[in-house]
Chain A
Amino acid sequence: MTTKLFGEPVRRREDGRLITGRGRYLDDIGHDALAVAFVRSPHAHARVTDIDVDAALDVEGLVAVYTYEDLLGPMAEPLPVLIPHPQLTAPRTGYPLVRDVVHHMGEAVVMVVATDRYVAEDACDRITVSYEQLPVVVGVDAAREARHAVHEDVPDNVAARHHQETGDVEAALAASAHTLAFTQYIERSACMPMEGKGVHAAWDPADSSLRVYTSTQASTSVRAAIAAKLQLSLEKVEVVAPDVGGGFGVKIVHPWPEELLVPMAAIALQRPVKWTEDRREHFISSAHERQQRQEIRVGYDDDGRLTALDVRIWHDNGAYTPYGIIVPIVTATQLVGPYVVPTYRVRVDSVYTNTVIVTPYRGAGRPQGCYAMERTMDRIAQERGLDRAEVRARNLIQPDQFPYDHHLTFQDGRPVIYDSGDYPGLLDKLTALVGWSGVEERRAEATARGKLLGIGMAMYVEGTGPGPYEGGHVQVLGSGKVLVSTGLTSQGQGHETAFAQIVAHELGVPIEDVEVTTGDTRRFGYAVGTFASRAAVMSGNAIALAARGVKEKALRIAGEALEVDPSDLEIDEGLVQVKGTPGISIPLRTVAVLSNPLRYAFDEAAKQATQFAGPGDDSKPPVAAGDAPGLEHVDYYSPVRSTFASGAHAAVVEIDTLTWEIDVVQYAVVHDCGTIVNPMIVEGQVHGGVAQGVGGALYERMAYDADGQLQNASFMDFLMPYASEVPDIDIDHQQTPSPLNPLGLKGAGEAGVIPGTAAIASAIEDATGRRIAAMPISPTELYDLVRDDAAGRVAPRRTGAMA
């Protein structure tokens, strides 16, 4: 019997090359390429009055200098708005190189091409750009006040007003036994993959074709963008995502200006050209996320059950909206979480500021939504004198309520209908895992050591695997090798392994024979991309369907060769055999050879296959109508709507009353992503997400000053967690398969990060008895809060025992 692979912690197939230094990341490609560096704006809002490049011209090794003036045709037009939306009434995007006005610090004004990066930077240093500074808008509150406009023609700074409601919220609030209103803030962080972006382009003049390598999450779309912007025919452009050193969302945005400018230069100069983003560039010219102001009004009954929820969100979208309003829509629709919300209204103003653009960062609006809802639950618990777990329990959607329709419209334009789940099950597992009811003893023990201890929890439901589609191609070669490809890309999620597990399982072949390629347009031209925890769900299912297609064909051909009914056949360890009669069999590789009527005896496989070749029916063509030579199949998976994963996290913090340092001493995760292909990989995703959640709650923020200068644009000043900041994580799984897709999968990539801020805020509040209404929180801020008597106090604790 084939070793069981599906659902097993199979060791990763990508690791062999990555642990020996044989990975191939963007900057590992093309050492002879010309190098690009950019002159970027030091100002957040300014008009370019002059660009003087003269002094750069005699730098030895300088090859070319480009400004906006040098951009032709579609390149001179604004970058595309990828995801338009009727409520995005004032979309704005930049140009590949600044035309007239800079809207955030870090925008590229001049591109320099030289023999190497050192020389290119020398030349950049000698270029003088003159600016006339304009008033700067930083932060949602300033954007809202609109004393100054980020874009001259958008005087109120509002890019979009998004609004959804499920009933008359004002009436429902008025009719509620109790109501609460509060405002809270969440700050900016960023994906910060360890590898920045990068692009390498080579033009083949003889063939008039372009090959581009880019560190992207969406190679097929980059290809289409390059073809359109550089006016090339699609088939003359190949885009390959090589090994990518992390993405977390920032590399889904496309085309980045550099993804157009570098190929443009490669064509113009007829030489390979490469740009590798440095860390400072990544901070000031890629993307950030998370900043919101949330005004919440909630109604509930005596038992703490929700009756109405009204949320007003001010979302900072930065200087441009190339990615539309996906992030605020996700916040608006995922906010309701695992709860029954009888009447819900959400209104989002997405506003411009003179800062780096805001596009999805792992979680993509969900952490903010979770923060709004879960902090609301905490407030109700406190106000009603109830245990926080109990309030949640009373409001949860019950297992018999699925499919559960929230009557909202998700980011993909489809209804928010939860497909399956068991939220009370999650909560029970979580309270057991973290020791929720035993916290008072721990608190006493910590107090004896001079520490304040607190516990918090947060639950979430996460729409994953949105459409429209992904595809998969599976092909068996005469050698027995099984080639698998899908268009979406990988940034460390172990797709080569998980997809190989799926194919080995579906087809009955040894996993060693399976070879997976992702993100290479030469192999698969249609794809959407890797985001929204969709890779396993979308490509996993597409590949499974493709493998099933191959299997069906293999059984048919083998049935003819063995003269048995295909339904009596099975494939095991790469051998097609009669079920229960192992003697009668034919290797799958031989079936692959048989599948092609033209087989010169080039190799042993083809020679062997001839012994199985049937007599052939003279009255029929060798390839039947509707059939095709080769043992391969392409299939697509396109879901009616997203599938909804869920989970619950709890954090225990200890706070030092001298330094006010906040230490997360325990972190518990219960996670439900439906059927699991590889639990080792899923746990790894959870670990990484939790680390980012802790970072976002306690350390990471983008420190813009009032002039729009990013003050902490380096790893020295932007604090990402090291090992010492990440707690040990206890994980428990629950599996409620999705009824929506053949494999029962739900996405797992983003889950770990979503509840971190909410759970940790709750724990800090529990420990200190002080209202936590702005996250992340530093020791200094916590100290100020505790010291300030005017700051909000939380009523006496009621964790642990039920009131």
Chain B
Amino acid sequence: MRNRAMGQVDQERTVSAVVNGTPREFTVPARRLLSDALRHDLGLTGTHVGCEHGVCGACTVLLDGVPVRSCLVLAVQVQGAAVTTVEGLARSDHQGGEVLHPVQEAFRECHALQCGFCTPGFLMTIAAGLEARDPAQPVTDDEVEDMVGGNLCRCTGYANIKKAVHHAAATIREATR
């Protein structure tokens, strides 16, 4: 027995959510961060933690399609929601092979990552940003700045990340023609 009044923060709760398209159920203390639950309870370590105070964006995942910082969300808050992490960004083709999301392809093509630690957060943010716009329109520099402007990267100086967004947007636009 703990001899302190933790209130309900460490009471265990069971959460059901659709994670990367698969219904999952997990039991966590009420205080557990979504980032920790994803990484340590569900083994989805692609989501990274750079600050745990909501500034760097490395932990960004999609909650019902909207980017959120998983270090600022409690795991119990995703009850009934759909969570997408970097592991769920690529799609499977008919043979069970992996088809990368255009933004993943673009990151490789444009050398938009070095250590790769910030990368999942950027990928998720940008994927959502591209999803939210009219794919038929060419992407503007301002839009690109907006999509990458809230995440920190200490390695790349962002030039190639911006290039990758242009590249991905062009690929998507090509595909809609």
Contacts and interface: CB of A to CB of B under 8 A. Distances in A.
B119 A246 contact: no
Q: Which of A19, A23, A27, A248 has the most CB of B within 10 A?
A: A19
Given A18-B113, A28-B39, A688 B154 contact: yes
B136 to A, nearest CB: 25
A722 B150 contact: yes
A60 B108 contact: no
Given A687-B159, A723-B148, A723-B149, A21 B86 contact: yes
A21 B117 contact: no
A456 interface: no
Contact of B152 (A116, A491, A494, A715): A715
Interface in B36-87: 39-40, 43-53, 55-56, 58, 85-87
Nearest to A9: B111
Given A21-B44, A723-B148, A715 B53 contact: yes
Contacts of B52: 278-279
Given A15-B107, A59-B2, A687-B159, A193 B55 contact: no
B158 A27 contact: no
B156 interface: yes
Interface residues of B, number: 61
B86 to A, nearest CB: 4
Interface stretch (A219-227, A556-564, A631-639, A724-732): A724-732
B86 A20 contact: yes
A451 B72 CA distance: 40
- With most chain A CB atoms within 10 A of its CB, the pick from B44, B123, B159 is B159
Given A19-B104, A59-B2, A194 B39 contact: no
A33 to B, nearest CB: 10
B109 interface: yes
Interface in A692-711: 692
Contact of A21 (B107, B111, B120, B161): B120
Contacts of B171: none
Given A21-B120, A59-B2, A722 B152 contact: yes
A20 B104 CA distance: 8
A11 interface: yes
- The winner among A28, A194, A278, A680 for most chain B CB atoms within 10 A is A194
Give the residue among B89, B155, B161 with the most A Cβ atoms within 10 A.
Answer: B155
B145 to A, nearest CB: 6
A101 to B, nearest CB: 31
A715 B151 CA distance: 11
Given A58-B3, A723-B149, A15 B116 contact: yes
Contacts of A21: 44-47, 85-87, 89, 120
Contacts of B119: 18-19
Given A15-B113, A246-B117, A716-B55, A20 B50 contact: no
Contacts of B151: 722
A19 B117 contact: no
B29 interface: yes
A726 B108 contact: no
A182 interface: no
A25 B58 CA distance: 13
Among A18, A248, A691, the one with the most B-chain Cβ atoms within 10 Å of its Cβ is: A18
Given A11-B108, A20-B98, A492 B158 contact: no
Contacts of A716: 53, 55
Given A21-B47, A21-B85, A22-B46, A118 B152 contact: no
A733 interface: no
A687 B157 contact: yes
A629 interface: no
Nearest to B103: A19
B2 A60 contact: yes
A283 B10 CA distance: 28
Nearest to B106: A19
B157 A690 contact: yes
A253 B111 CA distance: 28
B115 interface: yes
Contacts of A484: none
B31 interface: yes
A89 B131 CA distance: 62
B1 interface: yes
B33 to A, nearest CB: 9
A535 to B, nearest CB: 13
A479 to B, nearest CB: 23
A453 B109 CA distance: 36
Contacts of B149: 722-724
Contacts of A752: 157
A538 B55 CA distance: 37
A245 interface: yes
A279 B49 CA distance: 9
Contact of B50 (A11, A279, A493): A279
A490 to B, nearest CB: 9
Q: Chain B: interface secondary structure?
A: loop
B114 interface: yes
Interface in A1-30: 9, 11-12, 14-16, 18-25, 27-28
Interface residues of A, number: 61
A19 B123 CA distance: 8
B158 to A, nearest CB: 4
Contact of B154 (A25, A248, A680): A248
B157 A194 contact: no
Nearest to B87: A21
Contacts of A692: 154, 157
Contacts of B56: 194, 715
A720 interface: yes
A243 interface: yes
A25 B1 CA distance: 35
B18 to A, nearest CB: 18
B139 interface: no
A118 B32 contact: yes
A557 B102 CA distance: 47
Nearest to A724: B149
B2 to A, nearest CB: 5
Contacts of A691: 154, 156-158
B170 interface: no
Contacts of B47: 21
A275 to B, nearest CB: 14
B162 interface: yes
Contact of A192 (B1, B111, B120, B154): B154
Nearest to A729: B159
A26 B94 CA distance: 34
Contacts of B53: 279, 714-716
A726 to B, nearest CB: 5
A597 interface: no
B70 to A, nearest CB: 13
B153 interface: yes
A398 to B, nearest CB: 33
A683 B113 CA distance: 12
B2 A58 contact: yes
Given A16-B108, A60-B1, A195 B157 contact: no
Interface in A221-272: 243-246, 248
Contact of B114 (A31, A60, A494): A494
Contact of B90 (A20, A59, A194): A20
A245 B116 contact: yes
Among A122, A692, A722, the one with the most B-chain Cβ atoms within 10 Å of its Cβ is A722
Contact of B155 (A243, A688, A714): A688
B145 A724 contact: yes
Interface string B117-161: 111100100000000000000000000010011111111111111
A610 B52 CA distance: 60
5 contacts: A11-B109, A21-B89, A22-B46, A278-B52, A716-B55
Closest 6 pairs (CB-CB, A-B): A21-B46, A492-B115, A245-B117, A18-B116, A687-B157, A691-B157
Given A12-B108, A245-B115, 8 more contacts: A11-B111, A25-B48, A246-B117, A279-B52, A684-B156, A688-B114, A688-B155, A689-B157
